[in-house]
Amino acid sequence: MSGLTLFVVNPISGDNDKSSITKTIKSWSQSSGESIEIWETSGKNDKENLEQKIKEIAPAKVVAVGGDGTVLLCASILMNSKVPLGILPMGSANGMSAELHIPQNIKDALDVVHRGYSRKSDMLLFNDKDLGMHISDIGLNAGLVKQFEEGPRRGFLGYAKGIVGELSDLNPFKIKIETDTDTRETKGYMVAFGNAKRYGTGALLNNVGKINDGLLELSILNYFDITAIAGHFFDIINDESEHMKTIQCKKATIYTDRKVPFQIDGELQPDTNQVKVEVLPDCISFVVPQSRVL
């Protein structure tokens, strides 16, 4: 595809030096003949400013250089347009790029951008206003994200302390789920909202999710059992799993009997006792390796 490629670089994502990435992008532009522009996020009004930039330069492709937050920022602007979104995975969480099999190596990921194969994906809309793309949840995992973000500690030790804190406070909550097809009540520690199969950490959430199936997966963690949880890291969950149930639907509202932590694609939201979610089918195109084109 000819035309301009806009690289949207998040300078703070993933704690790695972006100046060498910028150099690599510029030399790739010369060797591949792709004309490029590089635009950095500031962390303030990025959506409005990027929207403006995209209107001005009308790129043929946009490439998010960062983690899931940067991918979601770009996707929220490009949705329902014909402009495909590539990814150079540079975040601390790169769930969407892992789902799309984008290479972690930057030169290989740039090669995917240059080839320009694309596939469509659904997105998720929460509470009629917030977009999600990969995996969001309420309860246990969002509690860990909260411990990590709100605690004074960074790094692995801080994360480990956060896990211990979160697990020692663990109590199930009552959950009512209304989907477009049924209503059920249960108790559990977490409800995940998936457009995909696995978290950016590699942990498997469900066996059925496809990013372009027009469905979302609600996965409910009913029992907390460390060996069963460990199974998710080794891909040994099955449809009969006792501790985790998955329901596919097009929309749902979840009610809980107390306010619980909530995260959308890794970004913490205010604690909540009610989440409405619906799938927005096939509304964004990602640039993917040829093997991932359907």
Ligand X SMILES: Nc1ncnc2c1ncn2[C@@H]1O[C@H](COP(=O)(O)OP(=O)(O)OP(=O)(O)O)[C@@H](O)[C@H]1O
By CB under 6 A, is residue 141 in contact with ligand X?
no
E strand residue ranges, the chain:
5-9, 36-40, 61-66, 85-89, 118-126, 130-132, 135-139, 173-179, 183-188, 190-194, 216-221, 244-249, 251-264, 267-287
Q: Which of 5, 41, 136, 219 binds ligand X (CB under 6 A)?
A: 41
Stretch that binds ligand X, among 89-97, 112-120, 136-144, 154-162 (CB under 6 A): 89-97
By CB under 6 A, is residue 97 in contact with ligand X?
no
Return the residue matching tokens 């704690």: 15
- Nearest to ligand X of 4, 268 (CB atom): 268
- Triad 4, 26, 284: Cα angle to 5°: 40
> What is the rounded radius of gyration, in angstroms, for the C-alpha atoms of the chain?
19
By CB under 6 A, is residue 34 in contact with ligand X?
no
Q: Which residues contact 58 (CB under 8 A, 6 or more apart)?
A: 4
Stretch that binds ligand X, among 4-12, 154-162, 164-172, 190-198 (CB under 6 A): 4-12
CA 22/CA 136 separation, integer angstroms = 30
By CB under 6 A, is residue 91 in contact with ligand X?
yes
Return the residue matching tokens 């030399």: 27
Q: How far is the CB of 237 from ligand X (least distance, A)?
A: 25
Q: How far is the CB of 47 from ligand X (least distance, A)?
A: 10
By CB under 6 A, is residue 92 in contact with ligand X?
yes
- The 51-70 contact track toward ligand X, x by CB under 6 A, reads ---------------xxxxx
By CB under 6 A, is residue 137 in contact with ligand X?
no
**Hey, CA dihedral for 281, 252, 94, 239, is it positive or negative?**
negative
**Which residues lie near ligand X (CB under 6 A)?**
10-14, 41-43, 66-70, 91-93, 266
